[in-house]
Every structure is written in C-alpha cells, then in structure tokens.
Homo-oligomer: A and B are copies of this chain.
C-alpha cells in the first residue's frame, strides 16, 4: 500500500484533505480513485486512510485505522559523510534512509574533492531530500530523515554537544584492529539516545581532523578488519545498530 509523508502533526479529525505533490502522485501518477487506501505518515502518527472524494486539486480521505508496528530505530542516528566524489551521496542517503537513519548530513572534509557554492549546495540538498523522501516511503518508515549539507566542517563540530554519543569511523582504528568501541557504545545505548556517526570521504580523515573531532568530544572506532569504502561504512554502522537495538533487543540477548 502506498505511503505518503505529510509534513504536519496529526490531530483527530473527521476527514483529511491533501493537495499539491501528494495529490498529484495519488491521482495522476497512481491513478487512485474512491475507496483506494493509503498510509498517511504525519509527523507523530501513521494512519491508514481511504479516499472518499477526488476533487480537481484536492483529495478528501477518511481515517480507517492507525499503523501500530514500530518502524523507527529506538535510537536517533544521524550520519555525517565527508563530501564524497560524484553522486555517491545519492546512494549513501538513499540506503541510510532504508536502514533507519534519523538525520542525513554531509560536510567538507580535508580530502573532499567537490567544491559547491551556496547555490549548488542548496540545489543538491533539495535533490537529496527528495531521494530521502522516496526511500522513506518505499521502506515503510514513519519518519522522513532531514538532509543537511554544511558549508564548513566547524558547523558540524558545533552540533556534537547535542548528541549522547559521537563516533568517528576511522580507517586507522580498523587497521590497528580496534574492535571494542563501536560495540561498547551500541550495547549501552538507551531508548531515545542520540548518536552522531562521522564517515570520511575517499582518502579518509587526516590526523589533524581526527584531533579536532576528538577535542570536541568524539571517539574513534573501527568497523571490522576490512577497509570499507566511503559509502559502505555508513551501511555497516546502521545495519549493526538495527541488529543490536531492534533484532537482538527483541530477544533480550
């Protein structure tokens, strides 16, 4: 069943009216008509709704029920990637959305090759937000992650204090066979904790960057003995977090 994100808070109401992009997709793209059902994901609640009336610019729906299954990770995980080459951010943010990320961020790292001015960055951000929205719908999420592209690395570092934990995936840690920090952090996560994960671009982080992250409270960790590419490391981390906090937690192992 098709899923639509409505960027507003759910309030108990007789009928729900939608217009704009959601209307266009429902009626023009999917050719839905009266009696068809959809999921409507509000900011605080996902409901099942049935189309009651199709107008020239709006659709009127009535609520049939609510979605009860928990679709979101019990912890809020934001990933921040050093700007990688080409269109790799498209892949990273699409997959990170499927894998449950709460926030999708990117920033200029020392080894980043791309240079985007304000206008280019703005355009890129809109495009990535659209990719995230489509991935959130497709993967049946109840929340669509927010995309944020930083101009300065310092802006990202300034957000560290907002998180319960900040971890940096560091290739040198992997090479030195550091295996403990990531597991230690994941096993002590509590419901509603927030986690920021930093990933380098191709070429990784410089020792100077690592020092400035650590000075701001971040900790380095290895993600196993193999060297993962810039786009693969976030998949690994998010999958492991889901495994630890959703699959394992449900069995109490």
Contacts and interface: CB of A to CB of B under 8 A. Distances in A.
A53 interface: no
Interface in A235-253: 235-237, 239-240, 242-244, 246-248, 250-251, 253
Q: Which 5 A-B pairs have the closest CB atoms?
A: A239-B239, A240-B243, A179-B250, A236-B239, A139-B226
Contact of A235 (B71, B235, B246): B235
B251 A179 contact: yes
Interface stretch (A28-36, A54-62, A95-103, A208-216): A95-103
A227 interface: yes
Chain A interface category by residue count = 35 or more
Contacts of A250: 179-180
B179 A228 contact: no
A70 B247 CA distance: 27
B179 A71 contact: no
